[in-house]
Amino acid sequence: MSTEDLLRLDLQLCFPLYAASRAMVQAYTPLLAKLGLTYPQYLVMLVLWETDGVTVKELGEKLYLDSGTLTPLLKRLEALGMLRRERSKEDARSVTASLTPQGRALRRKAASVPEAIVCRTGLTLEELARLRRDVLKLFEKLSK
Amino acid sequence: MSTEDLLRLDLQLCFPLYAASRAMVQAYTPLLAKLGLTYPQYLVMLVLWETDGVTVKELGEKLYLDSGTLTPLLKRLEALGMLRRERSKEDARSVTASLTPQGRALRRKAASVPEAIVCRTGLTLEELARLRRDVLKLFEKLSK
DNA sequence: CCCAATTCAATTGCGCGCAATTGAATCGAG
DNA sequence: CTCGATTCAATTGCGCGCAATTGAATTGGG
């Protein structure tokens, strides 16, 4: 493959990845709109539904996002009544996000989202699992 | 697989895709910084290097971006001296972007970028081609 | 115990993405 | 030829992402 070819938009991996990622978020958008959430907000809620009471730092480690993204996002979720933000008593440098009853209750309404997305892709669970594994492998290579 | 499992962050395809896409852009960032470009700006340049003199609409169709994104981005590239924007004479509704000599010359400096990224992924060209094909298939399913 | 280094979240600034709207130009049915 | 519908780019508004900086709290070496 020539350098010329490598510069071709349609032959690169990055652009399809970038386009697919945005298309995926677009697929979630109308579903999440019913819950009053954006996609990044939904990611934060997924973490909290799994492990309530996490710090900004922990959220950042799980989602690969920094405080510049998370702080305003968490403030919006707090304004929506989904969670509370409070300074940790043990370590006053850190801030913990905890679900409100309303935030916890939203989980049931969100339960139908993943299956709807799986259907939307038109792929089998096996195909999805393989693609997920391959993309994750790429991600790990890039993170190093 | 239960609904519970589907809701788990790490089992979903979307989050790895989202994380990998951002990691990929991050991998490009230092390389493109040497050219004075952001990743979306680089995508526009790739299109222009392949086909000079495209309208905002055509750029949007190739990159899946709308005028709300492209208009300010093209203005920045114009301010950088990479291209000119002008109203089409045939159809005064459309605007055409054309490379300046400087913009055309940048292609040589950009030639080393794709290979550097390929190395960065640590994947073989075959693995990359397969992943690209699979991601593209997903994208097409989601675009429908 | 002290203070320099580190670790936190918050803030600032900027460039996307994208929905929604605007306004100009063109098209096309009648 | 006309005028309503359509097609353009531009604009507005908002929520990310992320680099860089700030300032407060904590840590740890001496």
Q: Domain with A57 in it: what CATH number?
A: 1.10.10.10
Residue B94 belongs to domain spanning: 36-109
Is residue B55 in a domain? yes
State the CB neighbour count (10 A cutoff) for residue B74: 21
Is residue A125 in a domain? no
Q: How far apart are CA B79 and CA B87, in angstroms?
A: 17
Contact flag, residue B25 CB and nucleic strand D, below 7 A? yes
Closest CA to B12 of A92, A91, A49, A13: A49
Tell me which chain B residues have a C-beta less than 8 angstroms from the C-beta of A141: 120-123
Q: Which two tokens stand for residue B83?
A: 């291209």
Is residue A140 in a domain? no
What per-residue confidence (pLDDT) applies to A125?
A: 87
pLDDT, mean over chain B: 93
Map residue A54 onto helix, strand or coil: strand
Total domains present in chain B: 1
pLDDT for residue A1 is more than 60: no
Is residue B64 in a domain? yes
Contact B24 A128 (CB under 8 A): no
CB-nearest to B138 from A11, A28, A123 is A123
Is residue B25 in a domain? no
pLDDT for residue A2 is more than 80: no
State the CB neighbour count (10 A cutoff) for residue B90: 6
Is residue A91 in a domain? yes
What does the pLDDT look like over A8-67, one tens digit per residue?
Answer: 655 689 999 999 999 999 999 999 999 999 999 999 999 999 999 999 999 999 999 999
What per-residue confidence (pLDDT) applies to A137?
A: 96
Q: What band does A144 get if pLDDT is binned at 50, 70 and 90?
A: confident
A-B contacts at Cβ under 8 angstroms: 167
Is residue B137 in a domain? no
Is residue B58 in a domain? yes
What is the rounded average pLDDT of the residues B1-7? Answer: 62
Contact flag, residue B84 CB and nucleic strand D, below 7 A? no
